[in-house]
Amino acid sequence: MAVEERLRELGLVLPTAPAAAGAYVPTVRVGDLLFVAGQLPYENGTVKVQGKLGKDLTIEAGYSAARQCGLNALSQIKEALGSLDNIKKFVRVVGFINSDDGFGDQPKVLNGASELFGQIFGDRGKHTRLAIGVNSLPKQAAVEVEVLVEV
Amino acid sequence: MAVEERLRELGLVLPTAPAAAGAYVPTVRVGDLLFVAGQLPYENGTVKVQGKLGKDLTIEAGYSAARQCGLNALSQIKEALGSLDNIKKFVRVVGFINSDDGFGDQPKVLNGASELFGQIFGDRGKHTRLAIGVNSLPKQAAVEVEVLVEV
Amino acid sequence: MAVEERLRELGLVLPTAPAAAGAYVPTVRVGDLLFVAGQLPYENGTVKVQGKLGKDLTIEAGYSAARQCGLNALSQIKEALGSLDNIKKFVRVVGFINSDDGFGDQPKVLNGASELFGQIFGDRGKHTRLAIGVNSLPKQAAVEVEVLVEV
């Protein structure tokens, strides 16, 4: 099944790919690897989920933020490759989770991105992963997600 | 010398490869690169070293945690490649160290993983590296280590 | 124009490549990718910019630290490749910014490295990027920067 068809089946609409917020570009391809810049939970031009897990936000809110980062990464990949069908395999996903000192459930938050890729791409969506807590992120975003795919 | 022989010489036994703690897989290979998911200091199913460097833990305890992360990464690589002899070269090691604000000795902690790879693999074990302090990690782990090798 | 000529035009002198501060090496090449270890704002053997953004340091001081990290990365690449003309393309830059909890301008800080690469390399200098806030770094450095280039 084509990825766009699967997106429709899941009721998903890709957001407009957010512009790079600095002196850089959203994607770079080297050989079969497509590197995607870190994505924040932008929605219609603003970072929608701000604050810290374990203090300001529930795990559900963090999960939703990570999912939005994942959708934004897909938009960047589509912009770069023309079609999401050109993704051969997800390789690596890194989630930096804005966390209070005592918070230890970063994996549950990052599942928002990981499960999105699984729902859409099945086995091709399976990736290695790091879930890391940090004390601050650009624009007080709750989550920043980096994605690397094989083309 | 075969790597397994060298492990015996050093008195090292590889742990059982920890299961992925979320919607992801432990390793992905792309061409000659094998990406390994972030490893926590799991030992017999529990994260053995928890807490913050510079507050709860000595550098020695952190070093030991990083070494355990390194052993777990080797187990994942063995599971993926069949034999550790299939590692051509270590490429990149990243250590996120659960740290109190004033702690600045992350490199001494991450040496627990770096020196392990050097002891076992010699020149092939030499890698580029990042040592980063963070305020929280999954399950309050003291250290999370990511490894990238050339196959 | 050769990169060294462009450096002279910009009035830039590359620092001596800092020695690795642990059990690792400054660069590893795999195929067309050159991985560079995390660089601190070393200048003449000491980490010149220490402390936290949003608390101890202005954005200008952080920008300057990120630029110094970028210069050190270029020195490591020159040491590895013989000449900076052997860089085909910048691929990925990651900046870990030592930040107070409320600080959210990590992208402005990391521009110190990103704009340096743009000034010297033009379109070849464009890269994907992550800007992440953390609560501590080795030697209380303000910034640590990782660089990946295509050769």
Q: How far apart, in whole angstroms, are the C-alpha atoms of residue A104 and residue A115?
A: 19
Q: What percent of chain B has pLDDT over 90?
A: 94
Residue B20 is predicted with a pLDDT of 75
Residue scoring higher pLDDT (B18 or B35) = B35
Q: Which residues lie below 8 Å from residue C107, measured CB to CB, with a gap of 6+?
A: A21, A22, A138, C131
Query: A117 in a domain, yes or no?
Result: yes
- pLDDT at position A18, please? 81
Judged by CB atoms closer than 8 Å, whether chains meet at C104 and A140 is answered as: yes
- Is this model's pTM higher than 0.80 or not? yes
The dihedral of CA A71, A72, A77, A78: what is its sign? positive
What does the DSSP 8-state code read for residue C32? T
> Which residues of chain A neighbour C93 with C-beta distances below 8 Å?
24
Residues of A in contact with C126 (CB under 8 A): 24-25, 28
Q: Does some domain include residue C86?
A: yes
* B136/A101 CB distance under 8 A: yes
The string of pLDDT tens digits covering residues B6-20 is 999 999 999 998 877
A23 band by pLDDT with thresholds 50, 70 and 90: confident
Residue contact B93–C137, C-beta within 8 A: no
Q: Which ipTM value was assigned to this complex?
A: 0.96
pLDDT of A19 reads 79
Instruction: Kindly give the parts of chain C with pLDDT less than 70.
Output: 21-22
pLDDT at B1: 76
What residue numbers bound the domain in which A42 lies? 3-10+27-150
Is residue B11 classed exposed, middle or buried when 0-12, 13-18 and 19+ CB atoms within 10 A define those classes?
exposed
What pLDDT, on a 0 to 100 scale, did the predictor assign at position C137? 98
Average pLDDT value for residue range B75-81: 97
- Gyration radius of chain B over CA positions: 14
Q: Is B105 a domain residue?
A: yes
Q: How many CB atoms lie within 10 A of CB C122?
A: 11
In this model, does residue A21 exceed pLDDT 70? no
> pLDDT tens across B38-58, in order?
999 999 999 999 999 999 999
Residue C102 and residue B145: Cα distance in Å, rounded? Answer: 27
Residue A22 forms part of a structural domain: no
Q: Do B139 and A104 touch (CB under 8 A)?
A: yes
Cα–Cα nearest to A112, from A56, A80, A72, A83: A72
Neighbours of chain C (3+ CB pairs under 8 A): A, B
Instruction: Give the minimum alpha-carbon distance from C1 to chain B in angstroms, rounded to a whole number.
Output: 30
Contact C100 A139 (CB under 8 A): no
Whether residue C141 lies inside any domain: the answer is: yes
Written as one string, the DSSP assignment of C72-136 is: HHHHHHHHHHSSGGG--EEEEEEEEEEB-TT---HHHHHHHHHHHHHHHHGGGG--EEEEEEESB
Tell me how many domains chain B contains: 1
Residue A113 lies in a domain: yes
pLDDT of amino acid C22: 66
Rounded to whole angstroms, the Cα distance separating B23 from B32 reads 24
The tens digit of pLDDT for each residue in A87-130 reads 999 999 999 999 999 999 999 999 999 999 999 999 999 999 99
* Among B47, B97, A90, CA closest to C38: B97
Q: Which chain B residue lies closest to A54 (C-alpha atoms)?
A: B136
Contact A24 C103 (CB under 8 A): no
Q: What is the pLDDT of residues C25-50, one digit of tens each?
A: 999 999 999 999 999 999 999 999 99
Of the candidates A2, A99, A81, A85, the residue with the CA atom closest to the CA atom of residue A36: A81
CATH number at residue A103: 3.30.1330.40
Residues from A in contact with C at Cβ < 8 Å: 20-28, 30-31, 35-38, 52, 94, 96, 134-141, 144, 146
C50: nearest CA partner in chain B: B104
Q: Which residues in B lie closer than 8 A to residue A133 (C-beta atoms)?
A: 134-138
**Spatial separation of the C-alpha atoms in residues B118 and C22, rounded to whole Å:** 12
What region, left, alpha or beta, does residue A109 occupy, with left being phi > 0 and alpha being psi -120 to 50 degrees? Answer: alpha
Q: Which chains touch A (3 or more CB pairs under 8 A)?
A: B, C
**Contact criterion met (CB < 8 Å) for C37 and B129:** yes
Each residue of A50-93: pLDDT tens digit?
A: 999 999 999 999 999 999 999 999 999 999 999 999 999 999 99
Percent of chain A whose predicted confidence (pLDDT) is above 90:
94
User: What mean pLDDT, rounded, does chain A reach?
Assistant: 96
Predicted local confidence at residue C18, as pLDDT: 81
- C32: in domain: no
Which residues are A94's β-sheet partners? Answer: A130, A146
- Place A20 in a pLDDT band, splitting at 50, 70 and 90: confident
Cα torsion angle, A108, A113, A116, A117, sign? negative
Pick from A26, A35, A139: CB nearest C91: A35
- Are A134 and B134 a contacting pair at CB < 8 A? yes
Asked if the structure places residue B4 within a domain, the reply is no
Q: How far apart are the first and last CA of chain B?
A: 17
Q: Which residue of A has its CA nearest to C106?
A: A138
